[in-house]
Every structure is written in C-alpha cells, then in structure tokens.
Amino acid sequence: MENRTKLSKTLKPHWVVAIAFGSAIGWGAFVLPADWMREAGPMGVILGVLIGALLVMVIAVSYGFLVEKFPVSGGEFVFTYLGFGRINAYICGWFVTLSYVTSVALNASAIIVLFKFLYPDLVEIGYMYTIAGWDIYFSQIIVAGLALIAFTYSNVRGIKITGRMQFYFSAALFFGALFLGIAMTLHPETAFSNLQPGFNMEIGTLSSILVIVATAPFLYSGFNNIAQASEEFDFSAKIAFKLMIFGLASGGAVYAIMVYTTAMGAPWQQLTSGQPVWGTGDVVVDMFGSVGLFILTTALCMGIFTGINGFLVSSSRMLLAMGRARILPSMFTKIHPKFKTPYIGIVTAGVICFITPWFGRQALLWIVDMTATGVAVAYAYTCASAYKFFKWQESPARKVFSLAGTLVSLIFLGLLFIPDSPAFLATPSLIALVIWILLGALFYLFNGRKYNSIAKKIWIITFLVKKHLRIMLNGIVCKIKKQKKSRHYNQEGDFYGKVY
C-alpha cells in the first residue's frame, strides 16, 4: 500500500498521447504492409485498418470512463476486479500481460528485419539454426538484446524521460509517414492502377476486409496503455478519453498511409510474390533511393522505439498491479527509491522479451495472432465492467457504447477462433496460446489462495483514500471557519458553507 503513493506523477498530456499513438503504431505499419496485402489486397487492408480504428474507438468509451473514475496502475486488471471479482480479474490480467510483453518482443525483433535489409552482413554472423524458413544468427540475438537493454535502462530511469522520448519519437514517426505518402503520390512513376484489384479476389471483398479487422486488437492495442499510465498523470484523468481518440485516429491514418505508399510504387501482386525481406523498403528505395530509405528507416526506427517504450511502461505497470494483488510475488510492487518506477517489472519484461529473437520472423506473425487474442479478452472485460458501472438513468449513451464495445470485442474473438473465419488462428498460434493458458493456470494454482485471501477491494480503494481524506479535511476546516466567523462575518461564513 505504501508503494502506491511513490510513482512519479509527471506525465504531460502530449506525452500520454504519444504513448498511445506510438505504441499502437510500432513497427507493423512499416514492416508488414506487403504481408497484409498478400492476405487482403491494398484496399482490403486500408478499409480494414480504418474500420478497425472506428470499432476500437467504441471500446475506448469504456476505457475513458473507467480511467476517469479509477486512475491507477493496472488498468483492465483493476476494472475487471471491480466489475467481476478476483478470478475474472486474474484471467484478464494474465491475457493482458501476454499482449503487453509480446508487443515489446515484437518491436525488438523488428530491429533484426531492419538490419537484415540495411546491413545483412552484420546480422548474418554466427549461424545457429533455421526455424520456419528463417535463419537464426548469433549477431541477431545481440542486436535485439542491446536494444532491449537500452530501453529497459531508460524506462527504469523514470517515466519523465520515457514520456519525453516517446513524444519526440512519435512526432518523427508521424511526419515521416506523411511525407512518404505525399511524395509517393507526386512521383511521376507511381500509379493508382497499382492498387488494382483492391482486394484479394481469392477470398472475396468481405473476407479481405474481415481478415484485417480481426487484427485490430493487435494493431491498436497501444491506445489502452493510457490506462496503465494513469496513476502517473500530472493532469486530470477526465481528458483521458480525448487523448485515446486522438491517438487512435492518428494511428489509423499512419497505417493507411503506409499501405498506400507501399502499393503505389509497384503492382501489389508483384510486390507480394515470393518472400521479400522488406516489401515497403524495396518500393521506397526504387522510387527515392537513399534519401527515401533514410526517411523510411528513421520512421521505422521511431516506430520500433515507441513500441518498446510504450509497452515496457504498460507491461511493468500491469505486473505492479498484479503484485499488489498478491497474485504475483511482492517483489513486483517495489518502486525504485530514486527514479520512482516499478523497476522489477520493467527488468522482468525486458528479460522475458529476450526469448523472441531466438524464434525468427515467422514467430512474429504467430505472436501477432496470440497478442490479438490477449487484447480482445482485455477489451471485452473492460467494456463489460463499464456496462455494470453505468446507469441507464444517468448515462444511457455510455451504457449503449459499453454494451456495443463488449459485442465488438466478442466479434474480434470470434474472428480469431471460429474455424471458418478468414482470420482463424494458425496452429502454431493456438499451440502458443494453450501454453500461455497452462502457465497461467499453474501460477494460479500456487498463488490463488493468497490472492483470494485479500480483503475485498482494499488494495484498489486505498489509492482514493488520500484524495477523499483531503476533501473531507478541507470541508471540516471550512466548516470550523464558518462557525468561528459566523458571529461577525456572516457573509464569509456563507461562502465557506457553499465550499463545504
């Protein structure tokens, strides 16, 4: 309980937007357009990401309300605990931890893809083995490991450093993508005909869109990092919803721009044939040479950096919340005495992510599917919890939106798990998901009794005590002053009475 008051409240609004936007974009917008177009065609991808953004905005209504009411580390875990109790909170927290930690790993591994395109000799030193068609070299492990160490260290140093870095990285990312989109439109050798046919006709128009919509929980998962960082706001949590919407709208725009940029440079069927190392990079180099490559790689680096940064924040705060709830060891509640950060959780997330580079690029796509599952579960629990909190007579609109958000989240899950769905999980993703669930069951087996012994809501409510105690004391002081001065200063006494 003591540790709860020690997190540094230094996050500015524009830093928080950067955490949401930068985490949602990450590396995927710059690395995966060719992979997505192979599945859905350029227009299928663009419509899919934009529709996905709108659907996630519906979910954001519930997040905005709950962050306003409960600005505390833990986000979805806390919301589910208040709405549905301990068991459901644990299930939600376990899946959210999956999505956050694997998102850090995805961004770190994307550095390998970048280096493989730019400096192939550097990342092809010390061949070890091949997995799913991807050669693993010792130098790749070193490159990803150094990136994880650097960002883990900067996160331990304080949220103020993290927030400022995130803002600068996000600005460079956004304007880099915008510049490439405009330049590709104006280039004399590009053509809108390269976007035709707009969809993957082998599966049809609707399936082309749905296969991308199903990945929306992964594509935009960073927006809910705002909930994890809310305990460190230096401003009112009432504006959290607006920050989420701004982050989602900006993210959707960048995804669409980068798919458009990739497709404009060459016929997309030609671009997606075979297994190019980096389809977007090939197009930009062909059109703009080294200058275009510099802009693209800078934007990609910023996307990778914002992804690692943002999800280290969220994963460590989730581990902090689960440590407070005693479902994880109490060491996760420790706050750095100087930097005021949950350093044990930050270091733990960094260490876990070091596993991913050992599995190659194909593992990235498996993890994307698994991550989308974890985020969709979190969305469903959060919206359902908000539905329980809202009252029809007080806020019918919010009640409707929270119900709609719950249904949208369940649709996301259905697209991933219904066998005939175009986005049905691949077998490796299902196997990895089953392993994660079994690990969660094992953790609960050893910690469930301790977790269930906690007095109802005690670890959540204490963060509000200080605030409400201050209000009560101010009211008492005003009342005393009113009583003392009412004999001679009746007007002033009325003022204090109104304040109280």
251: closest CA among 444, 60, 98?
60
Task: Give the pLDDT of residue 463.
Answer: 47
Q: How many CB atoms lie within 10 A of CB 288?
A: 18
Classify strands 134-137 and 127-131 as parallel, antiparallel or unpaired. Answer: antiparallel
Nearest-5° Cα angle at 187, 186 to 188: 110
Task: Give the pLDDT of residue 480.
Answer: 47
Alpha-carbon gap, residue 363 to 132, rounded angstroms: 8
Alpha-carbon gap, residue 8 to 343, rounded angstroms: 13
Q: Give yes or no for a cis peptide into 342 (omega within 30° of 0).
A: no
Domain assignments of the chain as residue spans, ordered by start = 2-454, 458-500
Rounded to an integer, what is the distance from CA 103 to the centroid of its chain?
A: 8
In single-letter form, the type of residue at position 273 comes to S
Alpha-carbon gap, residue 455 to 140, rounded angstroms: 48
In single-letter form, the type of residue at position 172 comes to A
Question: What are the pLDDT digits (tens) for 333-392?
Answer: 889 888 889 999 999 988 888 877 887 766 666 766 677 788 888 899 999 999 998 888
Alpha-carbon gap, residue 96 to 221, rounded angstroms: 10
Alpha-carbon gap, residue 72 to 94, rounded angstroms: 18
Q: Could you tell me the two tokens for 453?
A: 């012994």
Task: Give the pLDDT of residue 361.
Answer: 64
Q: Could you tell me the two tokens for 374?
A: 């974890």
User: Do residues 90 and 451 lie in contact, with contact meaning Cβ atoms separated by under 8 Å?
Assistant: yes
Using DSSP, state whether 182 is helix, strand or coil. helix
Alpha-carbon gap, residue 385 to 80, rounded angstroms: 6
Task: Give the pLDDT of residue 406.
Answer: 94
Compute CA distances 472 → 468, 479, 500, whole Å: 6, 10, 9
Task: Give the pLDDT of residue 472.
Answer: 52
Task: Give the pLDDT of residue 488.
Answer: 36
Using DSSP, state whether 252 is helix, strand or coil. helix
**Is CATH 3.40.462.20 what the domain over 2-454 is classified as, yes or no?**
no
Mark the ranges of the chain whose per-residue pLDDT is less than 50. 1-5, 458-460, 462-463, 465-467, 480-500
| pTM for this entry | 0.80
